[in-house]
């Protein structure tokens, strides 16, 4: 059995406890992909000490040179794309077409990050005084603690790690326990690309022992976390005690609105992809669909027929359209929400059961599930499920559809299908979400655009695009007075 290690201060090391955890294939749970260190606070302390030491030199490396290392990492990911994708499918389940896309998102992020090494712009502005210049620069901050989820094991670690490094920070990365192999591959690639010792550190282990220590460590300057809103609130409270900079990308309960004038075939295609892509295990997954009353019956019938035709199976099988959920606990969570939906009076239109026979017997599969006649205050319409369960509700008009969409504690992604350009722009203005798609699914972020949400989806920061480089750097304002005499700003010179 393969055993994988932590990467601490430039060396691959086991946990000091000598304990290991097993990584399983969710499509064939008896297949053990490897053993990974069951680390604790001691490994975090070693990683942080190494990162803090390495920061002294790494911050002085010119940003374009840092970007060139990230460019080489992107090249290596591109060369190994298929192997990385297959390993990712084995450890978290989603189909190969999606894991290839996950790796490609990492590649795209690497190439974008490389160019940002030449674009860490500050500002030069006029001074209010003579013979004086005002400038600002973007400066590295220190050790970045990055805690990443299992559903995008390459893309999200890249979203966080690569901008952090280009900005001149050093990194301690804790990947999800369900997807440690992909994170290991990423660190191997960064090391091969030329990162100096201590600049990147990898600590495997649980959120309690490893994650909490990263968040609370006095030498970790900033935290970036993607995961549930409940855990994110706890991280924010812990990190706030020492005034760390914190970026939180949390839950979602995303809705697609289908208007009476929509291209229903196009809307159906987007809905199937948004609801059941990654087996519904995305923070941007379409878990609510709000359909105009005039087309509700027709569209719902189309949806049920298409959902029943989806092929569920091992993600390595090219015929598979929907893979397993990531583990038994996730399957049980999905089943519990199906029972909640039934008890609340929603109509189960299709699915609603675990798949446990034949080719599905060895894994954690769940039939794609659709509820109809869902009311806005039902829990299945309000709470994040993170599985292949879609709730469909009826709205009498556009205003009611928007109100139903916004009556939610989350606000990550949103979508509207309509041919009316005026209504589309009104939706862009009125939907309470960080992302809005017009005639597109709620999933499909691009790495050069800001990603994040409002309300309890996060704390206002954005991943992706230019804003993430603002999070991972600190502004320094510089005044240069060449007048040869004391000039006083903030004094009444008028």
Which distant-in-sequence residues (6+ apart) come within 8 Å of 52 by Cβ? Answer: 142, 143, 170, 219
Which distant-in-sequence residues (6+ apart) come within 8 Å of 108 by Cβ? Answer: 446, 447, 448
| DSSP code at position 430 | H
CA angle 306, 307, 310 (to 5 degrees): 90
Which distant-in-sequence residues (6+ apart) come within 8 Å of 347 by Cβ? Answer: 371, 372, 373
- Count CA atoms within 13 Å of residue 69 on its CB side: 24
Q: Is the dihedral of CA 62, 63, 64, 66 positive or negative?
A: positive
Cβ atoms of 424 and 440 closer than 8 Å: no
Inter-axis angle of helices 96-116 and 63-79, nearest 10 = 160
3-state secondary structure of 95: coil
Phi first, then psi: what are they for 248, rounded to 5°?
-120, 125
Residue of 167, 283, 350, 447 marked catalytic:
283
Phi first, then psi: what are they for 279, rounded to 5°?
55, 35
Is there a catalytic annotation at residue 408?
no
Residue of 249, 384, 408, 447 marked catalytic:
249
Is there a catalytic annotation at residue 283?
yes
Cβ atoms of 352 and 334 closer than 8 Å: no
Inter-axis angle of helices 63-79 and 81-92, nearest 10 = 80
Cα–Cα separations (whole angstroms), residue 453 to 9, 249, 258, 264 = 35, 8, 21, 27
Q: Which helix (H) or strand (E) holds 408?
A: none
Q: Of 340, 280, 281, which is closest to residue 307 (Cα–Cα)?
A: 280
Query: What would the DSSP string read from start to end of 228-278?
Result: -HHHHHHHHHHHHTTT-EEEEE----EEEEE-TTS-HHHHHHHHHHHHHGG
3-state secondary structure of 460: coil
- Count CA atoms within 13 Å of residue 121 on its CB side: 7
Distance, in Å, from the CA atom of 308 to the CA atom of 333, rounded to the nearest integer, reads 21
Q: Which helix (H) or strand (E) holds 21?
A: strand 20-25
Q: Give me the active site residues, please.
A: 249, 283
């Amino acid at each position: 059995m393969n055993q994988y290690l932590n990467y601490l201060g430039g060396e691959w090391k086991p946990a000091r406890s000598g304990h290991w955890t097993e990584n399983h294939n969710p499509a064939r749970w008896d297949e053990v992909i490897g053993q990974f260190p069951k680390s604790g606070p001691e490994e975090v302390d070693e990683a942080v000490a190494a990162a803090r030491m390495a920061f002294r030199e790494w911050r002085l490396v010119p940003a374009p040179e840092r970007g060139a290392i990230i460019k080489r990492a992107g090249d290596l990911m591109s060369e190994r794309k298929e192997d990385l994708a297959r390993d990712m499918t084995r450890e978290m389940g989603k189909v190969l077409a999606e894991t290839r896309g996950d790796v490609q998102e990492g590649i795209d992020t690497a190439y974008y990050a490389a160019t940002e090494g030449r674009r860490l712009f500050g500002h030069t502005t006029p001074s209010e005084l003579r013979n004086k210049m005002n400038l600002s620069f973007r400066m590295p901050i220190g050790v970045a603690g990055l805690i990443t989820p299992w559903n995008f094991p390459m893309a999200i670690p890249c979203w966080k790690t690569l901008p952090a490094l280009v900005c001149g920070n050093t990194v301690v990365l804790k990947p999800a326990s369900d997807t440690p192999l992909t994170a290991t591959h990423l660190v191997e690639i960064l090391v091969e690309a030329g990162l100096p010792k201590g600049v990147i550190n990898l600590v495997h282990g649980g959120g309690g022992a490893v994650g909490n220590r990263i968040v609370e460590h006095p030498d970790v300057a900033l935290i970036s976390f993607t995961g549930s809103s409940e855990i994110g609130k706890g991280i924010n409270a812990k990190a706030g005690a020492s005034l760390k900079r914190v970026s939180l990308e949390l839950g979602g309960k995303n809705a697609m609105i289908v208007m009476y004038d929509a291209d229903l075939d196009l809307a159906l295609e987007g809905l199937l992809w948004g609801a059941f892509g990654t087996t519904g295990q995305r923070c941007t997954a379409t878990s609510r669909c709000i359909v105009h009353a005039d087309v509700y019956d027709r569209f719902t019938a189309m949806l049920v027929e298409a959902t029943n035709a989806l092929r569920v199976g091992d993600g390595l099988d090219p015929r598979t359209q929907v893979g397993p959920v990531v583990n038994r606990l996730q399957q049980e969570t999905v089943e519990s929400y199906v029972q909640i939906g039934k008890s609340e009076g929603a109509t189960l239109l299709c699915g609603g059961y675990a798949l446990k026979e034949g080719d599905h017997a060895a894994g954690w599969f769940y039939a794609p599930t659709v509820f109809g006649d869902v009311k806005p205050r039902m829990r299945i319409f309000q709470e994040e499920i993170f599985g292949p369960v879609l709730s469909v509700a009826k709205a009498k008009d556009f205003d009611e559809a928007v109100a139903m969409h916004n009556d939610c504690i989350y606000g990550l992604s949103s979508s509207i299908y309509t041919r009316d350009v005026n209504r589309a722009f009104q939706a862009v203005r009125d939907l309470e979400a960080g992302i809005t798609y017009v005639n597109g699914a709620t999933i499909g972020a691009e790495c050069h655009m800001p990603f994040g949400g409002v309300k309890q989806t996060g704390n206002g920061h954005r991943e992706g695009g230019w804003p993430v480089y603002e999070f991972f750097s600190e502004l320094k304002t510089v005044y240069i007075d060449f007048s040869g005499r004391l000039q006083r700003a903030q004094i009444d010179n008028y």
